Amino acid sequence: METTPEQIEAHVSAAHEAYEAARDVPPAVRARWLTAVADRLDAHAAELVALAVEETHLTQPRLTGELTRTTFQARLLAAEVVAGEHLDATIDHADTSWGMGPRPDLRRVNVPLGVVAVFGASNFPFAFSVFGGDTVSALAAGCSVVHKVHSAHPRLGARTAELVVSALEDAGAPAGLFSSVHGRPAGPALIDHPLTRAGAFTGSEHAGRLLFDRANARPVPIPFYGELGSINPVFVTRAAWQARGDEIVRGYVASYTLGVGQFCTKPGVLVVPAPVDERLATLEAAARDVAPAAMLTPRLASSFRIARDALVQRGGVDLLIRGDASDTPAPTLMAISADRARADRSVLAEEVFGPASLLVGYDDEAELPGLAALFEGQLTATLHAEPADDVAALVRAIADRAGRVLWNGWPTGVSVTYAQQHGGPYPATTAPSTTSVGTAAIRRFTRPVAYQAFPDHQLPPPLREANPWGVRRRVDGAWHEPDRAR
Amino acid sequence: METTPEQIEAHVSAAHEAYEAARDVPPAVRARWLTAVADRLDAHAAELVALAVEETHLTQPRLTGELTRTTFQARLLAAEVVAGEHLDATIDHADTSWGMGPRPDLRRVNVPLGVVAVFGASNFPFAFSVFGGDTVSALAAGCSVVHKVHSAHPRLGARTAELVVSALEDAGAPAGLFSSVHGRPAGPALIDHPLTRAGAFTGSEHAGRLLFDRANARPVPIPFYGELGSINPVFVTRAAWQARGDEIVRGYVASYTLGVGQFCTKPGVLVVPAPVDERLATLEAAARDVAPAAMLTPRLASSFRIARDALVQRGGVDLLIRGDASDTPAPTLMAISADRARADRSVLAEEVFGPASLLVGYDDEAELPGLAALFEGQLTATLHAEPADDVAALVRAIADRAGRVLWNGWPTGVSVTYAQQHGGPYPATTAPSTTSVGTAAIRRFTRPVAYQAFPDHQLPPPLREANPWGVRRRVDGAWHEPDRAR
């Protein structure tokens, strides 16, 4: 099943040719390609979800929801392409009275980068895999994609890829615009290939950093958009704890055990007033309510066992709810005092991928901003507070180290929208100024080109005076909505 | 004069504190800080330009123009900050009918990164130095700056920094928001400092790559915006050569010898129909008209001598106009056939920083796209053509490897505008999706943060429902201009 080096060479070459053939198609055509794939996957939902259940042990409702989200995402990004948001088309007409001296006619547009290597994730077999956010945003940008299927769901990956390829072909896209490869050696080979222009990855900090370093060590470095690890701490004020502690505890357990604790946004730490065992009965009841299920792969189950055991044995860590690391692990809950966490902040940096989490007990609410500052970069950080709480310093502290901050919510569940930011400071990601979810994800795969004093007919369509693609543009400093009536 | 490690520590710490103190000020206040510095520098123009003439050997008109451009840039970016363009404020209201399932209230805004290390350039003592584009865009973003003064103009650097610091202080900005350091060891020390959040550099490919690698090798990598080297090739069609060859030749010589050939956008290669000596008399006359001047530093003069001699001795390279590498070098012009360049494309990758350039003679215009493809990433690439020329393939080829493409112009001279793109694929820059000139430069120093389900009063001002800062925002997918009447 492993793709050979010769095959990888052929995939990347074909992807480059397809990129060349497809890069200039009008947005409406590109949008049709994306929606054609979404339609095809929806039409095969039952088959795909059944395969996914078999290979991932995730539940059918969870997987059905994930597929819905995946095809919704493709259609939302297709609409964004038609609007031309990602092009950032900007026109400055020649201006002899420009303040620093005469300005030539300058027009800028974002162009696609080329072949993108996309790495599938183990834990989202649809939304962060074959036709997930990275693939869809790269295709939306006008790039081509060679996708490395994750070994956790090889049959689902192969079948999904087959459907993507055939839907693209039926929609008239050039062959090779999307293809998939298998096997561990494919990863470095894709990152090293001279025709690869960007990498996109969701996975472990270890593997992600290796690939990031490799992308930067190339003779010609390429951007590497890696989503690595995150603890996703949640901070609870005293007032919130008193007003609705049981509700918070139930939400917490549901969130950290969701999908057997295998979400990148799983809350790995809950910071609450001491004593942390105050709500133990509710915690235990909530943990008992969690339906047992197997983890994604034996390898992840083994990693979970090791990481859980290591955390349990850390100095100052108490076992509050024992749980286990069996084939269908019962939730584990540990606890540590704020003082001990301050003395060894590395305890707050250990991501345990699976159904385990850590309570941190504080004595004084004024400690919270300082505790927040102990954490490394995060995808999310959450605050549970009451309206009268003075949390300005805490809000700032969590916003300082996370890509998304939540108020009285739970970080699992990432809506695909215009404003979404799924990213964050290292080690949450290798590129904190970008997002891998939402419409803003498209721009990762473009770069700007400015055209100076070009004749109108030699310009790319979005920069021509008549705006034939009907995209939103900034002209002489002011934004103009397209005339959609045309 | 060299800043000690202890002093660097103090500079970075002070810069971090100033960033914390200043990050939330309203845009109008930040804009006043920037314009206050611009006003101060303009008020000291005569003194600064005189110092610059002494230290750089560039002409007074050239330096006066550069200072005008520098303060104009600060005012343009200040206006951009007030408009809030760089914030990319985006609001998605909660929506229960959202296609993938109920959407929470999500609001995203770009926040400043923190302390930025800015490296001054040798060749633009104002526009790419102390208060140049990198410093101004970092301050505009809400960051603080520690600036490493280039050793080519230490007194000008120190004096400019003094004026920047005092103008900021008088305008009420926190102490330490901007400071300057001196000496070679300061570079790696600034990049390595844990509180440094980004680097910005204009200089050689060698030094830039070392710092880029260092920024990526940190435990927590930081973005490094390096502008390194560029050949800036110019392609001339046969029709253009026949119609206005003499005019092209004169423009070429003026451009490649401007500022003693020390522009990062200097045209280092002119590709014309063979025989390349057809316009030799005009070339020689133009070269004779160039007023002799010294290079920026003895070190750059020595590097020029070495690079020029090496290129002259390359196989297939003929000396068309001998010139020299004296203290005030006379322009050198070399030539090579397209066939020889194809046989050894590295000859097209040798940047000679100084008044020398290379003519490449082609036989068939159909060779041009292929010749363009021999070049590495470029800041600019230029085309001289006539209206009837069929150059679509060549336009695509040059846009493929450059950040800015020009039609019938010369790449030296980079206007500061909304649409400007001063960047390009590696090795032109280490971050091809960004620009170091123009209003778009600000975003390099920000990252997005999304707020989920926050109470209005806990949101940053640009995300509050009432839009107190009056910035342009995207709300539920549609952009809204602020009500400027408020």
Annotated active-site positions of B, please? 227, 264
Q: What does the DSSP assignment read for B289-349? A: TSPP---S-HHHHHHHHHHHHHHHTSTTPEEEE----SSSPPPEEEEEEHHHHHHTGGGGG
- Residues A447, B426: C-beta atoms closer than 8 Å: no
> Which positions in chain A touch B220 (Cβ < 8 Å)?
376-377, 425-427
User: Chain A to chain B, count of Cβ pairs less than 8 Å apart?
Assistant: 210
- What is the rounded distance in angstroms from the CA atom of residue A19 to the CA atom of residue A117? 13
pLDDT, mean of residues B229-240? 97
- What is the rounded distance in angstroms from the CA atom of residue A42 to the CA atom of residue A75? 12
> Which positions in chain A touch B416 (Cβ < 8 Å)?
100
- What is the rounded distance in angstroms from the CA atom of residue A421 to the CA atom of residue A442? 12
| Domains of chain B with bracketed CATH | 5-228+431-480 (3.40.605.10), 234-407 (3.40.309.10)
pLDDT per residue over A273-323, tens digit each? 999 999 999 999 999 999 999 999 999 999 999 999 999 999 899 999 999
- What is the rounded distance in angstroms from the CA atom of residue A60 to the CA atom of residue A50? 7
- Residues B404, A446: C-beta atoms closer than 8 Å: no
Min Cα separation A179/chain B (Å): 23
- Pairing type for strands B402-407 and B378-384 reads parallel
pLDDT, mean of residues B94-116? 97
Specify which of A309-318, A343-352, B30-39 reaches the highest per-range mean pLDDT.
B30-39
> Which positions in chain B touch A405 (Cβ < 8 Å)?
449-452, 454
pLDDT per residue over A139-195, tens digit each? 999 999 999 999 999 999 999 999 999 999 999 999 999 999 999 999 999 999 999
- Which residue of A68, A98, A212 is in closest CB contact with B100? A68
- Residues B405, A111: C-beta atoms closer than 8 Å: no
pLDDT grade for A115, boundaries at 50, 70 and 90: very high
- pLDDT over 90 percentage in chain B: 98
pLDDT per residue over B183-204, tens digit each? 999 999 999 999 999 999 999 9
Say if residue A482's pLDDT is above 90. Answer: no
Min Cα separation B325/chain A (Å): 31
Task: State ipTM.
Answer: 0.98
pLDDT, mean of residues B157-179? 98
- Residues A395, B458: C-beta atoms closer than 8 Å: yes
Say if residue A485's pLDDT is above 70. Answer: no
- Residues B407, A458: C-beta atoms closer than 8 Å: yes
Which H/E stretch holds residue A181? Answer: strand A178-181
Average pLDDT, rounded, for chain B = 96
- Residues A216, B212: C-beta atoms closer than 8 Å: yes
- pLDDT over 90 percentage in chain A: 98
- Residues B415, A472: C-beta atoms closer than 8 Å: no
Comparing alpha-carbon positions, the chain A residue that sits nearest to B102 is A415
- Which residue of A101, A104, A426 is in closest CB contact with B220? A426
- Residues B409, A100: C-beta atoms closer than 8 Å: no
- Residues B419, A107: C-beta atoms closer than 8 Å: yes
Whether residue B406 contacts residue B380, with contact meaning beta carbons closer than 8 Å, is answered with: yes
Which H/E stretch holds residue B164? Answer: helix B154-170
Cβ burial, residue B96 (10 Å; 0-12/13-18/19+): exposed
Helices vs strands, H then E, count in chain A: 14, 17
Query: Any idea what DSSP says for residue A444?
Result: G
Q: Per the residue annotation, which of A264, A351, A365, A376 is the catalytic one?
A: A264
- Residues A220, B425: C-beta atoms closer than 8 Å: yes
pLDDT grade for B1, boundaries at 50, 70 and 90: confident
- Residue B484 confidence (pLDDT): 60
Min Cα separation B324/chain A (Å): 33
CA angle centred on B467, ends B464 and B470, rounded to 5°: 150
Using only C-alpha atoms, chain A has a radius of gyration, in whole angstroms, of: 24
- Which residue of A433, A440, A452 is in closest CB contact with B405? A452
- Residues B449, A73: C-beta atoms closer than 8 Å: no
> Which positions in chain B touch A451 (Cβ < 8 Å)?
399, 404-405, 407
- pLDDT over 70 percentage in chain A: 99
CA terminus-to-terminus distance, chain B: 51
> Which positions in chain A touch B68 (Cβ < 8 Å)?
100-101
- Phi-psi region for residue B446, left (φ > 0), alpha (ψ -120 to 50) or beta? beta
> Which positions in chain B touch A98 (Cβ < 8 Å)?
415, 417
Cβ burial, residue A218 (10 Å; 0-12/13-18/19+): middle
> Which positions in chain A touch B92 (Cβ < 8 Å)?
415, 417-420
> Which positions in chain A touch B221 (Cβ < 8 Å)?
212, 426, 430
- Residues B100, A458: C-beta atoms closer than 8 Å: no
- Residues A101, B415: C-beta atoms closer than 8 Å: yes
Q: Per the residue annotation, which of A85, A205, A227, A365 is the catalytic one?
A: A227
pLDDT grade for B482, boundaries at 50, 70 and 90: confident
Task: Show Cβ contacts of residue A331 under 8 Å, excluding neighbours closer than 6 positions.
Answer: A253, A256, A257, A261, A287, A290, A321, A323, A355, A356, A357
> Which positions in chain B touch A477 (Cβ < 8 Å)?
418
Say if residue B205's pLDDT is above 80. Answer: yes
pLDDT per residue over B43-95, tens digit each? 999 999 999 999 999 999 999 999 999 999 999 999 999 999 999 999 999 99
- Which residue of A221, A453, A458 is in closest CB contact with B426? A221
- Residue A1 confidence (pLDDT): 74
Comparing alpha-carbon positions, the chain B residue that sits nearest to A72 is B100
Task: Show Cβ contacts of residue A15 under 8 Å, excluding neighbours closer than 6 positions.
Answer: A115, A144, A145, A146, A176, A177, A178, A179, A195
pLDDT grade for A486, boundaries at 50, 70 and 90: very low
- Residue B483 confidence (pLDDT): 73
Comparing alpha-carbon positions, the chain B residue that sits nearest to A430 is B221
pLDDT per residue over B269-295, tens digit each? 999 999 999 999 999 999 999 999 999
pTM for the model: 0.97
Is position A143 annotated as part of the catalytic site? Answer: no
Min Cα separation B141/chain A (Å): 13
- Which residue of A68, A417, A450 is in closest CB contact with B404? A450
- Residues A453, B408: C-beta atoms closer than 8 Å: yes
CA A74 to the chain's CA centroid: 14
> Which positions in chain B touch A104 (Cβ < 8 Å)?
409, 415
Average pLDDT, rounded, for chain A = 96
pLDDT per residue over B223-234, tens digit each? 999 999 899 999
Comparing alpha-carbon positions, the chain A residue that sits nearest to B107 is A419
Whether residue B212 contacts residue B236, with contact meaning beta carbons closer than 8 Å, is answered with: no
pLDDT, mean of residues B286-310? 95
Q: Is the four-CA dihedral A270, A273, A276, A281 of positive or negative sign?
A: negative
- What is the rounded distance in angstroms from the CA atom of residue A379 to the CA atom of residue A381? 7
- What is the rounded distance in angstroms from the CA atom of residue A328 to the CA atom of residue B150? 62
SS3 A119: strand
- Residue B485 confidence (pLDDT): 47
- Which residue of B387, B430, B452 is in closest CB contact with A406? B452
Is position A227 annotated as part of the catalytic site? Answer: yes
Say if residue A361's pLDDT is above 80. Answer: yes
